[in-house]
Structure 1
Amino acid sequence: MATVTAGIAAAVLLAGCGAGDAGKAPASTSKTGASATPGSKGAFEVEAALKNADPAPYSVEITTKSFTGSTLTVVMTGRMNFNGSGPTGKMTLKSSDSVPKDQAFEAETILLEDATYTRTRGADGALGKWQRTELGASYAGASDYGAYAQLLLDLGPKARKGPTEVDGAPAYRLSGNLTQDQLRSVDRRLYDKMRATGTEEFACDVWVNESGRVVRFEQWVGASGNSAHNVATFEGFSAPVPVNAPK
C-alpha cells in the first residue's frame, strides 16, 4: 500500500508542480518523447517565448505517469483549463497493472475554482458517490505551468539546459530546485501541500515550446519515505472546455 500511496500523492501534487528531493535522475531521453541533446536547429529564446505567450484562457490534454522507483504505479489523464482565475478540469486516476489487485483503484476528479469533487470505483466496478472538498478563497493554484518555467528562469544560467525537441518539435529545457517560499505567491495549493508534508524544496524539469507553453514536465517527489517520479505531457492545446459540478 505504501507504493500505491506514494503514487497517488505524486499524481495529486501535480495540481501544482510537485514536491520532491534535491537529488534526481538524469534528463529524459528520446525514448520518452523528449530529446536531451541540444541543437541549434529551431532554437529560440525561451524567456521571450514565455513573456509573449498568449494570455487568453486555454485547455490542454494532460497525461501523467507516476513511478515509484522504476515501477509505474498511477496514470492520470484528462483535460485542464488554464489562464483563468484558477485551474479547472476533469481527471481520471488509475493504478497500473503493477499494483496488486486488492490495492488497485480508479478515481475521477473534477477540479473547480472553489472545490474539488472525487469519486472512486469499487471492487464491484460501480462508481461511488461524489465527495466534495471545499477550497478556501486563498487556496489558489497556478494560472498555468508557465509559472514554474519562470521560477526556474529566475534561478539564473544554471537552470538553462538549452534547446532540444519534444516529439520532434523545438523546445527549451529548464531544470532546477524550487523552494516553499518561491511557491508561496505562485501556487498556494502546492505551497500548503509542501508545508503539510514537511517538504522544503522539489526538483523539476520543464520543456517550453516556441509559443511559450509547457509541453513536458517532470518532477521528483518524496512521499511517506518513498521516492516517486512524475512524467507529464501536454498536447492538444485548444479553447477552454466547460467544467461543472456533478449533479
Structure 2
Amino acid sequence: MQQPRIPRSVLAATAGAILLAGLFGLSGCRQDEEAASRPSVADFDVADALAHADPARYSAAVTLKSTGNGLPSVVSRGRLNLNGPVTGHLTVRNARYGESEALYTGEHAYVRLQGSDGRPGRWKALPGAVNGRLPLGNLSGYAELLAARPGADKGLERTAGVAVHRLAGTILADQLATMDPDFHHELVASHTRSFDCEIWVTAQGRVVRFERSVVVAGRTPLNNVVTLSRFGEPEPVAAPASA
C-alpha cells in the first residue's frame, strides 16, 4: 500500500524532534511535590558547578516532549551526543502522523517514516540547518543565563534520584543573539521578546531537565520538556546507507 504523502515541512519538523514546530519552547508539568523535592544531601553552588563542568563531549538518553499551540503532541526518545554538534538517533511519535525516526550526523539530518504496514520507509536527507535548530547543543549556556539572574536559583531538589538545583526565570530574546543565534532569529521573526525557562542542574554542572515555554502573538503556549539521563561516552553515528 502506498504511504500517504507527508508535507516536507512535517518531515523537517520531525527531524527537529518538533522541538520547534515552527518555534520551539520548553515548559511543562513538573512531577515532584514540593515537600518531597528537598533531599537531605550536601548542597552545592550551581554557578560554580556550571563554571567547572567537564567540557568534553558526552552521550545521554534523551526524551523530548512537545505540546501546545494547536500542534499535534510529539514524544521523541533516543540517544544523542551532546556538548557540541548534536548527533545521534531519535524515535519520534507524532499524534497526527504516527511514528518515524530521525538521525543526526552533525552535517545532515535524516528522517524516515513508518509505512501503514508498520515497516520503515526510506531515509530522506534534510538540510543541515534543521540539526542546528535543536536547542541541546548549549544547555549549559541557558543555565548560566538563569544562574546569573537574581532569584532564579530555587534551591536544592531531587529529580530522578539525583540532587539538583532548579533554576527558573525569564530569558530575553536579546540575550540569545550570540549564544543561540538560530533561536534568537526565530524569536525576533515572531516578535517574541522573552520566554519562561526552567533548568535542573547537577553538582557536576550537567543539565538533566530543561523546560521552556514560548507564547507567540497571544496564542496558546508551545511547551516542550527535555530530560537527560544515563550519561556516557560519545557514540559513533553514521549517515544511513540508503539515503
Q: Which band: TM-score by shorter chain?
A: 0.7 to 0.9
Report the counterpart of residue 234 of structure 1 in structure 2.
228
Q: Please show how residues 148-167 of structure 1 align to structure 2 within 5 Å.
A: 148-154=142-148, 156-167=149-160
Q: Please show how residues 112-151 of structure 1 align to structure 2 within 5 Å.
A: 112-135=105-128, 143-151=137-145
> What TM-score does the superposition give when structure 1 sets the normalisation length?
0.76
Confirm whether residue 30 of structure 1 aligns to residue 40 of structure 2.
Answer: no
What is the number of residues matched between the two proteins?
223
Report the counterpart of residue 50 of structure 2 in structure 1.
50
Aligned-pair CA distance for 1:243: 1.2
Q: Please give the alpha-carbon distance, in whole angstroms, between the structure 1 residues aligned to 2:173 and 2:194.
A: 6
- Quick one: percent identity of the two aligned structures? 35
Confirm whether residue 176 of structure 1 aligns to residue 169 of structure 2.
Answer: yes
Which ranges of structure 2 fall in alignment gaps of 5 or more residues? 1-9
- Change beyond 3 A, Cα 1:238–1:195: same
> What TM-score does the superposition give when structure 2 sets the normalisation length?
0.77
Q: Please give the alpha-carbon distance, in whole angstroms, between the structure 2 residues aligned to 1:145 and 1:194.
A: 18
- Change beyond 3 A, Cα 1:130–1:35: farther
Which of 203, 212, 222 is residue 205 of structure 2 equivalent to? 212
Aligned-pair CA distance for 1:178: 1.7
- Change beyond 3 A, Cα 1:19–1:77: same
- Change beyond 3 A, Cα 1:160–1:238: same
Which ranges of structure 1 fall in alignment gaps of 5 or more residues? none
Confirm whether residue 89 of structure 1 aligns to residue 82 of structure 2.
Answer: no
Is the Cα contact below 8 Å between 1:87 and 1:144 reproduced in 2?
Answer: no
Report the counterpart of residue 245 of structure 1 in structure 2.
239
Secondary structure, counterpart of 2:151 in structure 1: helix
Aligned-pair CA distance for 1:131: 2.0
Is the Cα contact below 8 Å between 1:65 and 1:231 reproduced in 2?
Answer: yes
- Change beyond 3 A, Cα 1:114–1:35: farther
Q: CA RMSD in A?
A: 3.3
Is the Cα contact below 8 Å between 1:57 and 1:82 reproduced in 2?
Answer: yes
Secondary structure, counterpart of 1:30 in structure 2: coil
Residue 66 of structure 2 aligns with an amino acid whose one-letter code is S
Report the counterpart of residue 19 of structure 1 in structure 2.
25
